[in-house]
Chains A and B, each alone.
Chain A
Amino acid sequence: EVQLVESGGGLVQPGGSLRLSCAASGFTFSSAWVHWVRQAPGKGLVWVSRINTDGKSTSYADSVKGRFTISRDNTKNTLYLQMNSLRAEDTAVYYCVRESWYYFDFWGQGTLVTVSS
């Protein structure tokens, strides 16, 4: 059974940093492109970032470019999102998502990040 389990969310002050993790199981993690998608309270889904299988190719939404860094450790079957210079508008549930040829076939349950003083 495919599982994606996010962790690392919490309350952080504006300007602070947080690192999210996503533990993957039930499939060959090293063969999958994976993404982060977020949903702010009362808002819709928004794509944040993606990484290819070996971690050498990444992409970011304009709203997080230069502040967030996506990475992966295929030996640990884990995806990461390092979030720096956090802003109130980064407050959201962050989902770890597996891609399968231009669509998202499995989603984690999400982890809540709250940026507030």
Chain B
Amino acid sequence: KAGVTQTPRYLIKTRGQQVTLSCSPISGHRSVSWYQQTPGQGLQFLFEYFSETQRNKGNFPGRFSGRQFSNSRSEMNVSTLELGDSALYLCASSFRPGAVSNEQFFGPGTRLTVL
């Protein structure tokens, strides 16, 4: 079974631009979560989607947004990029958020560099 796929793997943007990152969950998984990882703040939760609905949101500004499609694939968008947005963006999928185990499978991440 294929794992979580994230595209692109690496991205370089300049301040003020916007970026869209994509995540394809494991086949059959319907829940997708996004995380940001930086050396200073560590791993921080961005948001979670299930059945095309945002179920939970972390403490990030409105420049960060996401969506989920009917095939469970998800995208996140960051508008008006700032230098501090440089990070590894990780996507995680799980079968459904209701299970106690709710083991989450993480993708390899997208490394975003903002110049």
Asked if chains A and B come from one complex, the reply is no
Q: Which residues of A are in contact with B by a Cβ distance under 8 Å? A: none
Q: Which residues of B are in contact with A by a Cβ distance under 8 Å? A: none
